[in-house]
Every structure is written in C-alpha cells, then in structure tokens.
Amino acid sequence: MFVTLQRFNEKILAKLATFCIPLRGVKQGTDNYEFLLDDEFFREMESIDILGGAVKASVAVRRANEANYFSIHCQGTIQIVCDRCLEPMDYAVEANYDLAVKYGDEYDDSKDGVLIVPEGDNVLDVAPIVYDTVALCIPLQHVHAEGECDEATWQALQAHTAHGIDDELQEYGSYADDDSAAEDIDNETNIDPRWAELMKLKDNKLKNK
Ligand SMILES: [Zn+2]
C-alpha cells in the first residue's frame, strides 16, 4: 500500500515538474513554453471550483539581468458547476497575466505582477500561476445558456426553495443582523445553510441515479 502511494506521488510530482521553468542557467532572450491544463491537472491542483477542462497555457519568458518577465496567455474551456441547476457546464476562458520574477531575500507575492523568489531558486513552478490565471476568469454568477439547464434538478430546487430554503434564509437573515450570532452559524464547517441544502438535494439526486 505504501509503495503504491509513493509511486502515485512520484507520478504526480513528475507530472507537475513539467510546469517548472528555469530561472537561471539559460541564455538571455525569450523562450516560449506551452502547457495543456487538462482534467488531470485540475484534479492535481485540488481545484474545488473547476471540475476539469482543456486549456492551452502559453508562457513566454523574457530573461534579462534584473528579472525574468513572464507573459502568460490561457485559452480554452473549463467545466464548472452551474449556479442554477448544479450540473456541470462548459465555460470558455481566455486570460493574460504578466509577471516579473525577481530575486530577493525571501519569497514575496504580495505585489500584483511582481514575484520575489529567494536567491537559491533556480526554477519557477508555474502550475499555481496558470491555475490562478484561469480560475480568475470565473464570474461570480455562472449559469447554463438558456434551455440547457437540467430542468429536473431545477424543478426540484424550486420546489425546495418555496418551502425550505426561504424559511432558512429568513432565519439566516435575522441571524446575520446580529454579528455575534452570525459567527455561530456552522462555524466549524463554515457552510452557508442555503448551500448545505442545495448540496443535500444534489446528493440525493446522485444516489437515486
Ligand atoms: Zn444549469
């Protein structure tokens, strides 16, 4: 069992290692890299919002004395959960992100567009950076195109909303007026009661399939 687990980890490490781009030891000028962000990639990134996808990430790196300048372009399709019917939906993404990578005393990503890495770092793992570039494309609200929702789930959700969720929402609202009480709501799991209801419904639906 241990051996299997170790092999599994090695496989994942090997896969993610392909996202490491050298910062030193390469001549000045511009190099281009291409990565495919597939279902496996999003699984390995332990993504909660993105179920899978096929996104091409092109990374151009211009190397100069004072910094490495990364220009990232991501384009493709991801699968996310529809807010309305809770079924997966395709979502087209396209985004650019420019990042200057400089050396400093310690790691510092507090400034947008500038990353400071310690002197000893010879490579940069761009996996989390391209992941964030894609994840930031997801709008706060996202639903299927008209007519493409799973109507059975939607009907069930609506029926539930009329009786259950509204009551809970009212309760939640009155709690929310009181700061101290609001903190008590599901503090351990930090789950919005409305979302918990939806997930329960979704679970039941899966079990009945
Ligand atoms: Zn939908």
- 144 contacts 85 by C-beta, under 8 angstroms: yes
Q: What is the greatest pairwise CA distance in the chain?
A: 66
Distance between Cα 87 and ligand 1 center (Å): 6
Return residues with CB closer than 5 A to ligand 1 (ion). 82, 84-85, 144, 149
CB proximity list for 104: less than 8 A, separation 6 or greater: 116, 117, 118
Asked if 75 and 94 touch (Cβ cutoff 8 Å), the reply is: yes
What distance in Å separates the CA atoms of residue 176 and residue 17, rounded to the nearest whole number?
A: 45
Q: Tens digits of per-residue pLDDT, 17-38?
A: 689 999 988 888 899 999 999 9
Contacts of residues 114-120 at CB distance under 8 Å and 24 or more positions apart, as own/partner, are 117/23
The one-digit pLDDT tens for each residue of the chain (209 residues) are 444 445 545 555 555 568 999 998 888 889 999 999 999 999 999 998 999 999 999 999 999 888 999 999 999 999 999 999 999 999 999 999 999 999 999 999 999 999 999 998 999 999 999 999 999 999 999 999 999 998 888 888 888 776 555 554 554 444 444 444 444 444 444 555 656 666 666 666 555 54
For residues 56 and 73, what is the distance between their CA atoms, to the nearest angstrom?
8
Q: How far is the CA of 57 from the centre of ligand 1 (A)?
A: 27
Task: Report the 10 Å Cβ neighbour count for 70.
Answer: 22
Distance 148 CA to ligand 1 centre (A): 6
Ligand 1 center to residue 145 CA distance, Å? Answer: 8
- Amino acid code (one letter) for 4: T
